[in-house]
Amino acid sequence: MTTTVQGSDSKANASKLGEVEEKTEQMLQRARLAAAVFTQYSQEQVDKIVKAMTIAAIEAAPALAQQAHEETRMGLTEDKVLKNFVASEFQYNQIKNTRTCGIVKEYPEEDMVEYAEPIGVILALSPVTNPTSTVIFKSIACAKTRNAIVFSPHLMAANCSNNAAQIVYEAGIKAGAPKHFITWVEKSSKLRKETERMMSHPQVDLIFATGGTQMVRTAYSSGKPALGVGSGNTPCYLHKSADIHSSVKDIITSKTFDNGTECPSEQTLVIDREVGEQVLREFERLGCYVCKPEEVEQVADAVIDAKTGGMNYRLVGQPAYKIAQEAGLDVPLDCKIVLCPLEGELRHHRLAVEKLMPVLGYVFVDSVYEGINRSLDINYGGGTGHTAGVFARDEEVISLFADSINAGRIIVNCPTSIGGLGGVYNNLNTTLSFGCGTGGGNITSDNVGIKNLINYKKVPRRTVYDVVFQTTNSLHVNPGSIEVLSHQKTKSAVILTTKSADKRGHLSAVLEKMPEDCKTRVYDNIGVEPDFSAIKAAVDFLRATKPDTIVALGGGSVLDAAKLIRLFYDYPDMDINHLSVAFLDFRHRIAQFPKSNKTKLIAIPTTSGTGSEVTPFAVMRDSEKQRKISFVDQTLLPDIAIVDANLTKTLPLTITCDTAFDALTHALEALVSAVAFDYTDGLALESMRLIFEALPMILENPEDIVYRHKLHHASCLAGMAIGNVSVGVNHALAHSLGATFDVSHGRANGVFLLSTLDYNENVPGKFVSISNYHTWVADKKYARAAEFLGLYKPEEGKADTDEEVRKGIKALKQRIYDLGRLCKQPLSISELGITPEEFQSKLPILVKAAFEDLSIKTNPRFPMIEEMVQLFVSAYPERQPPK
């Protein structure tokens, strides 16, 4: 059987290869098929295979340990048995209930699930220090994750490693695993070269490298994704608060484990001087040898390779007695560890490196800071990101140590070698591969395990945001309803208003209704479209008078200003710059408003336009930058709104028309807002109907309270609509124009209305990129509005056809045009008296400000910058009747 590698002819290649290489090709191709077949396995099938492999590994643990020791002459058979158990029994215990097929994790709160995707073919290197346990560990981990694994053993441990692989493979096959799911490279003189060739082989998906530094480096430079491990140099800080007896016992247990071959094992002890002698005596009592200063060089000569400055590999995993003998020291045969004081500059000491043998350096320190700093010297001296240990009862010391040291595992009050393996002394993931993070040149700092052998496929569902309708708590809407002021529970109130309120008699009407026992003061310095200095002046007035209630009496500017005045009065530390930071999505914005208000705000509109009494918005002029700043938050909503049409009876007709066109803009923009919903649609439609009905009548009879009442309601209903679904591009254009040419808000809105309808009725060049915008229906909604207003009747059964929709939109535009002309309302920029030269010179500024305006975010069509230019340009010439 031959298998073609993508983009190559394997038969032709094979013919050019030698016998060893051909075997490798065949092995990788078989592993590829096994990986493909493995994708079909269920969790139950996988778990059955994993259990069978684990049992086989446990049964073979002693024999494999003995074989490993005999082949490598490193470590201790007894400890290698334990490692084999850790790799099988302990790992199995940790992973047996972990899902690795299909859905592996659910995130109900995020409405998201995660599926597992196998990696494919994994090339695994196994080291000489843990030749059988690593193979057991990786084989079981790969089976659990449905990956095929190809082992490249260390040449000095190939027989025992491959034997371990064969034992777990056969058990897996009996339990139903795919043929060739575990394969291994036979021992040969070409083994290393073959391994390097496989590292860049197209059939290999991942390299799982545990081994010598050089091999790990080669893996990383192969161009394949690689899970490698860094070298270790574990510092261990023994703080004076530690239990000395148990700490020393643990360190001995750790450092003598498999004769020190475990890379997380302690390399240098950093001991508080206060307990230093006690610690050393305890080491001696338990059978360790503490070198005299003059003996240290002898040990270093034996233990350290003079050429490389690293450990002498000949002594790796050898007993302490043998090492001492090599160093010319006379120690008992059963000596457990040789301890060496590291005097002088620690960072340059020859023994301050990794020594995978029972040789320990030590230094004394005089403070916690010095202890941690010397630990950092060791940590960064060849073991960055690997392992560190601390023995202490003082939690602050442990915390400072953990925060300072750069290690993937910081082992507390237990042996670092066995502790690092995980699952024995702590709940770390069981592993024989220690990720060291970027400090060690690795992609992970984990105890590498099954979670690193899976591709995770996240499946997020479309977010459905909670749709809430919010408005002012209490609305009093009849003519004469300012009467409710007399029932308010307030002892001290400030009326925020303009000077014109007095002239129009509104102020006296309100003062008359204030409760008798309420001390009421008036602040009438709120100008037209106030800036922050005006807001601050009003706040200062409030701080001097300390009211429990604010009554805002006036048009939109006064009401908006009052919302901000209350905010800064209640919360003096609020930063206006933070509150007005722009946002893409309201729900993710940076601005943090307070959750509640302290002072009651009663809003009494005296114009029928902004609907500010029921909106969570406030717009403020930024005098410095010639722009308007918008604030949005539910806490800006007034507590009470009094929509009393009596207060609008004397409103001049010009202002009546300007503000009515503002309300009409609100209704039209809310209707087609990208976040509009049924509740706001109803409000917008009824608002339009009232405006079209009332405004012409008011022009004829300005003091007709019935139509003033209807227009006042229209403004409030449209305000509720935009208060929940915001406005659109018309407002962005109007804000920009108004700030640049000092045009009142309602009037500025009016000049763009027909241009934005022209713009929004066409299929967008770009849709609004917000998650809860499901369909584009702006054109149909305009037509529906025309039908609702009785402006046209679609042919039966054809209401949604393009032809009928166009008719409806035309009828709506005609109605707006007619109303505008009836009111003598400017319907274009030129009709405002702005010359072409003025307009052209300001066009770039106008476009920039409009594009940065928050209002465009909910427009059904996302305006590109060039479209924004066209919107301004198309709104300039005198407005002609709609075509």
> Which residues are tagged catalytic?
263
> Residue 401 has which token pair?
């140590």
SS3 504: coil
45 or 241: CB nearest another protein: 45
Q: Is 13 in the site for another protein (CB under 8 A)?
A: no
Cβ atoms of 628 and 680 closer than 8 Å: no
Alpha helical stretches, state H, 73-122: 77-85, 91-95
* x-marked contacts with another protein along 570-589 as a string, rule CB under 8 A: --------------------
| Selected binder of another protein within 80, 180, 747, 781 (CB under 8 A) | 180
Residue 500: name the closest of 603, 607, 602, 619 by CA.
607
CB of 137 to another protein, least distance (A): 24
DSSP class per residue in 723-773:
HHH---HHHHHHHHHHHHHT--HHHHHHHHHHHHHHHHTSPPSSB---TT-
> Residue 52 has which token pair?
């069978």
Q: Is 3 in the site for another protein (CB under 8 A)?
A: yes
CB of 128 to another protein, least distance (A): 32
| Selected binder of another protein within 75, 127, 153, 178 (CB under 8 A) | 178
2 or 438: CB nearest another protein: 2
Cβ atoms of 271 and 362 closer than 8 Å: yes
Q: Is 35 in the site for another protein (CB under 8 A)?
A: yes
453 or 727: CB nearest another protein: 453
Q: Is 6 in the site for another protein (CB under 8 A)?
A: yes
Q: Count of alpha carbons within 13 Å of 95, Cβ hemisphere only?
A: 35
Dihedral sign of CA atoms 767, 770, 774, 779 in order: negative
Cβ atoms of 776 and 770 closer than 8 Å: no
Span near another protein by CB under 8 A; candidates 33-41, 256-264, 777-785, 807-815: 33-41
10 or 612: CB nearest another protein: 10
| Selected binder of another protein within 28, 32, 129, 580 (CB under 8 A) | 32
33 or 286: CB nearest another protein: 33
Span near another protein by CB under 8 A; candidates 175-183, 453-461, 626-634, 802-810: 175-183
CB of 124 to another protein, least distance (A): 19
Q: Is 464 in the site for another protein (CB under 8 A)?
A: no
Q: Is 30 in the site for another protein (CB under 8 A)?
A: yes
Residue ranges in 196-255 that form contacts with another protein under rule CB under 8 A: 202-203
Please report, for residues 155, 454, 547, 559, the alpha-carbon distance to residue 189 in angstroms, rounded to integers and kept in the order given. Answer: 8, 33, 92, 88
Q: Is 174 in the site for another protein (CB under 8 A)?
A: no
CB of 41 to another protein, least distance (A): 9
N-to-C CA span, the chain: 75
CB of 30 to another protein, least distance (A): 7
Query: Under rule CB under 8 A, how many of the chain's residues touch another protein?
Result: 22
> Residue 342 has which token pair?
């590291």
Span near another protein by CB under 8 A; candidates 28-36, 189-197, 459-467, 571-579: 28-36
Q: Is 40 in the site for another protein (CB under 8 A)?
A: yes
Q: Is 797 in the site for another protein (CB under 8 A)?
A: no
Cβ atoms of 724 and 718 closer than 8 Å: no
179 or 499: CB nearest another protein: 179
CB of 228 to another protein, least distance (A): 21
180 or 747: CB nearest another protein: 180
CB of 142 to another protein, least distance (A): 15
Taken as a whole, the chain contains a residue count of: 883
DSSP class per residue in 849-860:
HHHT-GGGGGSS
Residue ranges in 104-133 that form contacts with another protein under rule CB under 8 A: 120
Spatial neighbors of 95 by CB under 8 A, at least 6 apart, are: 50, 140, 141, 144, 449, 450
Span near another protein by CB under 8 A; candidates 13-21, 176-184, 291-299, 616-624: 176-184
34 or 791: CB nearest another protein: 34
CB of 148 to another protein, least distance (A): 10
Spatial neighbors of 783 by CB under 8 A, at least 6 apart, are: 794, 799, 804, 805, 806, 807, 808, 809, 812
Span near another protein by CB under 8 A; candidates 35-43, 133-141, 288-296, 833-841: 35-43
| Selected binder of another protein within 28, 34, 311, 353 (CB under 8 A) | 34
In angstroms, the CA 630 to CA 617 distance is 7
In angstroms, the CA 172 to CA 50 distance is 7
CB of 204 to another protein, least distance (A): 12
Cβ atoms of 313 and 270 closer than 8 Å: no
Q: Are strands 112-118 and 103-107 parallel, antiparallel or unpaired?
A: antiparallel
Residue ranges in 517-576 that form contacts with another protein under rule CB under 8 A: none
32 or 386: CB nearest another protein: 32
Span near another protein by CB under 8 A; candidates 30-38, 449-457, 539-547, 799-807: 30-38
Span near another protein by CB under 8 A; candidates 26-34, 256-264, 529-537, 630-638: 26-34
In angstroms, the CA 146 to CA 143 distance is 5
Q: Is 172 in the site for another protein (CB under 8 A)?
A: no
45 or 77: CB nearest another protein: 45
| Selected binder of another protein within 179, 281, 393, 798 (CB under 8 A) | 179
Q: Is 101 in the site for another protein (CB under 8 A)?
A: no
Span near another protein by CB under 8 A; candidates 34-42, 47-55, 361-369, 424-432: 34-42
| Selected binder of another protein within 17, 36, 484, 777 (CB under 8 A) | 36
Q: Is 39 in the site for another protein (CB under 8 A)?
A: yes
Cα-only R_g, the chain = 40
Q: What are phi and psi of 460, to 5 degrees?
A: -85, 140
> Residue 723 has which token pair?
């208060």
* x-marked contacts with another protein along 129-168 as a string, rule CB under 8 A: ----------------------------------------
22 or 686: CB nearest another protein: 22
Cβ atoms of 776 and 767 closer than 8 Å: yes
- Residue 11, H or E segment: helix 10-16
Q: Is 840 in the site for another protein (CB under 8 A)?
A: no
| DSSP 8-class letter at 479 | T
Q: Count of alpha carbons within 13 Å of 628, Cβ hemisphere only?
A: 33
In this structure, which amino acid lies at residue 84?
A: N
Q: Are strands 112-118 and 454-460 parallel, antiparallel or unpaired?
A: antiparallel
48 or 842: CB nearest another protein: 48
Q: Is 44 in the site for another protein (CB under 8 A)?
A: no
| Selected binder of another protein within 14, 17, 20, 33 (CB under 8 A) | 33
Cβ atoms of 172 and 52 closer than 8 Å: yes
Spatial neighbors of 6 by CB under 8 A, at least 6 apart, are: 202
Q: Is 652 in the site for another protein (CB under 8 A)?
A: no
Cβ atoms of 323 and 302 closer than 8 Å: yes
Span near another protein by CB under 8 A; candidates 32-40, 348-356, 543-551, 831-839: 32-40
> Residue 865 has which token pair?
């910058």
In angstroms, the CA 558 to CA 565 distance is 10
In this structure, which amino acid lies at residue 131?
A: P
SS3 822: helix
120 or 131: CB nearest another protein: 120
Provide the binding-site residues for another protein, judged by CB under 8 A.
1-7, 30, 32-37, 39-40, 120, 178-180, 202-203
